[in-house]
């Protein structure tokens, strides 16, 4: 078993490289993904090794990137599109929700769109406007799209390959402030693995409350669980991993044991993913709940200037405060 310690960004790069090696129909396209290797260097070295016909520097036109990829996908390619920052995806939004999401349904199953749209998302890096947003709810709400997000290097490596191998369009959200965090990666992990692409995972067992998170907030919730353990409180942390479709089976099982649930994400709370998760938990686990499902989210404002973003982002203290309120402590 070949296991290496990699950053999340390097794990994505290694997963993309393996996908390019295994399937000649895989192409990567986006702004500065070639010679520069992407603004976060996720595609570093790939154009040098696979050529500019497979790792393609595109014009600065997100709608054109996605529209071109739709044509490539129809012709049998597996395009992987990089949107340079989360806030730049909106010029491509019409293509994604009107074409990418609906082509399979509109053609009565005759046409598939096997493409991946990679979007670095979330805050915490001190960036300027339109560089720190969390647009996941827009895509998770759209029928025909699958939406996933990784939280650690092992998942980054496996999930990007699983997404590329999927015959359905996948929006692949990458937590940009976790790009530099390191972890072990099994380079021989099969794509089927113990957890398929659309499965949630218990990442820390516990008994006192269930904490659900995804992407950049998983690390925050694990840190909160570590802090809570010092006071004798054991939090069960679940990484949702897939936002559409949601896999809430492990969450239901957990909440039926703990009786309390906190949902955490960076995006604003109003109509965010936490609302849907809280509704489903309440419907399925009503008689097990000892208190209402609580949400810890970003605020219902545009993402703030970098100098005050730490006041906006959910942190360890806000997670622990929600757990205390759920218990009445």
Q: Which residues are catalytic?
A: 131
Give dist(CA 153, CA 7) in Å, integer: 6
Residues 6+ apart with CB under 8 A from 220: 213, 264, 314, 315, 316, 319
Enter the tokens of residue 233: 């409180």
Task: Sort strands 261-268 and 242-244 into parallel, antiparallel or unpaired.
Answer: unpaired
How is 252-268 classified by DSSP, letter by letter?
HHHHHHHS-EEEEEEEE
- Note whether 148 and 163 are within 8 A (CB): yes
Residue 317: alpha-carbon gap to chain centroid: 23
Give dist(CA 70, CA 240) in Å, integer: 28
- Note whether 186 and 11 are within 8 A (CB): no
């Amino acid at each position: 078993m070949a296991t290496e310690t990699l950053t999340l960004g390097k794990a994505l790069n290694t997963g993309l490289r393996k996908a390019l090696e295994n399937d000649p129909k895989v192409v990567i396209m986006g702004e500065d993904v070639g010679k520069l290797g992407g603004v976060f260097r996720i595609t570093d070295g790939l154009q040098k090794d696979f050529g500019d016909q497979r790792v393609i520097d595109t014009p600065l036109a997100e709608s054109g990137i996605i529209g071109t990829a739709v044509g490539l996908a129809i012709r049998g390619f597996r395009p992987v599109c990089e949107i340079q920052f989360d806030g730049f995806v909106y010029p491509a939004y019409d293509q994604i929700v009107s074409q990418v999401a609906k082509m399979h349904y509109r053609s009565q199953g005759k046409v598939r769109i096997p493409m991946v749209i990679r979007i670095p998302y979330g805050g915490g890096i001190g960036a300027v406007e339109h560089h720190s947003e969390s647009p996941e709810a827009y895509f998770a709400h759209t029928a025909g799209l699958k939406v996933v997000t990784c939280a650690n290097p092992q998942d980054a490596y496996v999930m990007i390959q699983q997404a590329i191998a999927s015959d359905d369009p996948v929006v692949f959200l990458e937590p940009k402030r976790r790009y530099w965090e390191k972890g072990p990666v099994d380079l021989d992990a099969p794509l089927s693995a113990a957890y398929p692409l659309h499965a949630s995972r218990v990442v820390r067992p516990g008994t006192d409350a269930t904490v659900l998170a995804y992407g950049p907030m998983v690390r925050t919730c694990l840190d909160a669980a570590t802090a809570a353990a010092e006071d004798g409180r054991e939090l069960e942390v679940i990484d949702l991993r897939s936002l559409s479709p949601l896999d809430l089976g492990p969450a239901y099982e957990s909440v039926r044991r703990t009786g309390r649930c906190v949902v955490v994400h960076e995006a604003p709370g109003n109509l965010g993913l936490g609302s849907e998760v809280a509704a489903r938990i309440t419907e399925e686990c009503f008689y097990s709940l000892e208190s209402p499902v609580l949400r810890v989210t970003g605020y219902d404002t545009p993402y703030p200037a970098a100098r005050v973003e730490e006041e906006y982002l959910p942190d360890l203290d806000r997670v622990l405060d929600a757990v205390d309120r759920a218990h009445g402590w």
